Amino acid sequence: MDFHFSEEQKMLKESARDFLQTECPKAFIRKMEKDPKGYTPELWRKMADLGWMGIIFPEQYGGIGGDFLDLLVLLEEMGRACLPGPFFSTVVLGGLPILEAGNESQKKEFLPKIVKGELILTLSHIEPATTQFDPFLISVEARSEPNGYSIDGVKLFVPDAHVAHWMICAARTKGETNSREGITLFLIDGRSSGIKWELLRTVAQDKQCEVVFRKVKVPQERILGGLNEGGKILEMLSQKAAVAKCAEMIGGAQFVLDMCVSYAKEREQFGKLIGTFQAVQHHCANMLINLEGGRYITYKAAWMLSKGIPCTKLVAVAKAWVSDAYKRVAGLGHQIMAGTGYMEEHDMPLYSRRAKAAELAFGDANYYKKLVAKEIGL
């Protein structure tokens, strides 16, 4: 694998950084944390006009026709900027399953609208009984009816459900609660009768919801990927979403390192710049070691996923390492910044809070370490 970015990827990275520095300053992020929607339609339209929503979708659906690596380049810059809003839930959690598993009619209906920024999607997957991440721990039921299915149950931590036009809901159509067999994915109109949502308080102050389904009617043609075939799709999506989240974390960790190095070159203590002290130098060096290790593992996993090469072990290694690495980088950042870095007005808490939230997304380090142990025969 060539770890260098192509010229197109370099241009994407540079243009995304310039755009986000202008359109997504830290004051805007703090404002969106308190905003009920968590994003602005104006910024969403600008991102759509840049082609970001369609970066991974084929040209026949209005997209750019890029691959998973191109998407990661963009997500890294979004993580660096702490971009708020429903991009991840729409493109990764909503668009990717439709692209990978949808029939042609579903692709033609949804993908062009995603590309144009006309639709916001999300995935309702995690359930209250879940004590740790398990993509197959599904108990929400979809009962067969003459004209389709009726869905009952509760989902937790559904990102951006309060603004989503459509949800992909994982429901059980047969089998035991923890079986990968018997799971079906349904495309559900977010305004359907019987759906209620409530915003949750989260450490990152992002927009995640509890969603309650009460006899929500879904027609047969809204099944995504086939009846009882949802387990395979969730397995694919869990891997790609985990690696995509790693890219966001790498971007955030890079910003923390850059911020701390800049601070160490300016802050004086005991008559010297703190960057001349060995302890601070070692902190910055350890931050870079954590960051670069995570970056190469993440992009290797993304390359293998983009080529369709089985990489369960590498995905697990990437998410386990980056989940811990981002926290370590943020922790060292707080040590370098000292009391200043704990002030609410400072940028450091924006990143340390997101480091904790991202650690848990799609499985924490302990979950993936178990997968690694299983992959090496233990």
Summarize pLDDT for 270-296 with one digit per residue, the tens: 889 999 999 999 999 999 999 999 999
pLDDT band at 175 (very low <50, low <70, confident <90, very high): confident
List C-alpha distances in Å: 333 to 202, 328, 340.
22, 8, 11
3-class secondary structure per residue, the chain: CCCCCCHHHHHHHHHHHHHHHHHCCHHHHHHHHHCCCCCCHHHHHHHHHCCHHHCCCCHHHCCCCCCHHHHHHHHHHHHHHCCCCCHHHHHHHHHHHHHHHCCHHHHHHHHHHHHCCCCCEEEECCCCCCCCCCCCCCCCEEEEECCEEEEEEEEEEEECCCCCCEEEEEEECCCCCCCCCCEEEEEEECCCCCEEEEECCCCCCCCEEEEEEEEEEEEHHHEECCCCCHHHHHHHHHHHHHHHHHHHHHHHHHHHHHHHHHHHCCCEECCEEHHHCHHHHHHHHHHHHHHHHHHHHHHHHHHHHHCCCCCHHHHHHHHHHHHHHHHHHHHHHHHHHHHHHHCCCCCHHHHHHHHHHHHHCCCCHHHHHHHHHHHCCC
Shortest CA distance to 74 belongs to which of 250, 316, 253?
A: 250
Q: Which residue has the tokens 């940028």?
A: 347
**299-353 per-position pLDDT tens digit:** 999 999 999 999 999 999 999 999 999 999 999 999 999 988 888 889 999 999 9
Who's near 5: CB < 8 A, 6+ residues apart? 13, 73
Q: Please, which pLDDT band fits residue 135 given cuts at 50, 70 and 90?
A: confident
What pLDDT score does 284 carry?
97
Domains of the chain: 7-119 (1.10.540.10), 123-230 (2.40.110.10), 231-375 (1.20.140.10)
Q: How confident is the model at residue 1 (pLDDT cuts 50, 70, 90)?
A: low
Residue-wise pLDDT tens digits, 227-281: 999 999 999 999 999 999 999 999 999 999 999 999 999 998 888 999 999 999 9
- Taking the C-alpha atoms of 85, 86, 88 and 90 in order, what is their torsion angle to the nearest 10 degrees? -160
pTM value? 0.95
> Residues 6 or more apart from 349 whose CB is under 8 A from it?
341, 342, 343
Contact 218, 140 (CB under 8 A): no
Other beta carbons within 10 angstroms of residue 312's beta carbon come to: 14
